[in-house]
Structure 1
Amino acid sequence: MQYPDDDNGKMLTAMADAGIDLSKALDIDFFLVFDDQRDAESALEGIQTTDLDGEVELLLNDESGKWELIVCLNMLPEYDALVSQESHLNDFSGEFGGVSDGWGVMQHQDGDDEFMDDDHEHGTDCKH
C-alpha cells in the first residue's frame, strides 16, 4: 500500500516492511510530552474522565527530563485514523501545556526470547 510521504506514512511503510499485519488492530502508543509534572498529572486526570477507550501511563523520561503521558489505544493502523487521533491528542495535550510527540507500536525484537518464561510450553498455536 502507498502512504503519504510524511512521518506517519513512513512509519506505516516501515511497519509493513517489517512484516506487521496492518489489517489487524494493534496496540498503538501515542506520546504526549510535558515539561511540568503538575501539567502532566492534570492531563492524566483529564484524559481519565473522557470516553477514551485505552490505557494511560505517566512517566518521567530520564533522558529528556520531560514527563510523558503514554496513551495506548487498540485500533486499526489506518493512516487517516492515526492522523486524526494524533491531532485530537495534540489538541488535548495543548490544553495542559503539552504536545504530541508521535506514536509507535511495540513489536517482537531480536533478543526478546531471553526474557521469555522458561516454563512456557510451546503449542501448535504459538506465534513465538
Structure 2
Amino acid sequence: MYFPNDDTGNVLADMAEAGVDLSVEHNVVYFHLFENKDDAQALAAHIETQYQEYQVTLKPDEIPNVWDVDCVVKQIPSYDNIVEQEQWFEKLSAKFNGYNDGWGIEIND
C-alpha cells in the first residue's frame, strides 16, 4: 500500500506496517485544542446537535487552561478520508477559536 510522504501518510504507513487493517472501519479520533473552556463547550455542543454521527468528549488538557475536544467517528481510515475530515474540522474548530491537534484510531484487541 502506498501513502503520500507527509504526516498523515507516515502515520497510516506505520499503522499498516504494524498490522492494522486499514480497509475496514475503525473509530477515528480527531483532537482539537482550545484556550477557552466556553469555546470548547460551544464546539462540543454544536457537533453534538448538528452531527450525531460523532461521539464528543470535552476534558481539560494536561496543559493548564487548555481544553480538549475529542471527536470520534467510525470510518475507513484511508488517506483521503483522514485528510478531508481534518480539513473540515480545521475550518469548524477555527469558527470556535480552536485548532486541530491531530488524529488517531482506537484499536480493539
Is the TM-score greater than 0.5? yes
More helix by share: 2
Higher relative contact order (CA 8 A, sep 6+): 2
Identity %: 32
What is the CA distance between 1:88 and its match in structure 2? 0.3
CA RMSD, 1 decimal? 1.2
Match of residue 60 from structure 2: 60
Once the two structures are overlaid, the 10-residue window that deviates more, 45-54 or 35-44, is 45-54
Counterpart Cα distance in 1 of 2:2 and 2:52: 29
Moved beyond 3 Å, runs of 4+: none
What is the CA distance between 1:36 and its match in structure 2? 0.7
Query: Cα deviations across residues 35-85 of structure 1 (Å, max 9, x unaligned)?
Result: 1111101111111121351211001112x2211100001000111111000
Counterpart Cα distance in 2 of 1:35 and 1:25: 32
1:107 paired with 2:107, answer: yes
**TM-score where L is the length of structure 1:** 0.80
Kindly tell me: are residues 21 and 88 of structure 1, through their superposed partners in 2, closer, same or farther at Cα, counting changes over 3 Å? same
Can you give the 5+ residue segments of structure 1 that lack an aligned partner in the other structure?
109-127
Query: Cα deviations across residues 73-124 of structure 1 (Å, max 9, x unaligned)?
Result: 100011111100011011101001000111001336xxxxxxxxxxxxxxxx
Q: 1:91 corresponds to which letter in structure 2?
A: K
**TM-score where L is the length of structure 2:** 0.93
Q: Rg bigger for which structure?
A: 1
Can you give the 5+ residue segments of structure 2 that lack an aligned partner in the other structure?
none
Match of residue 13 from structure 1: 13
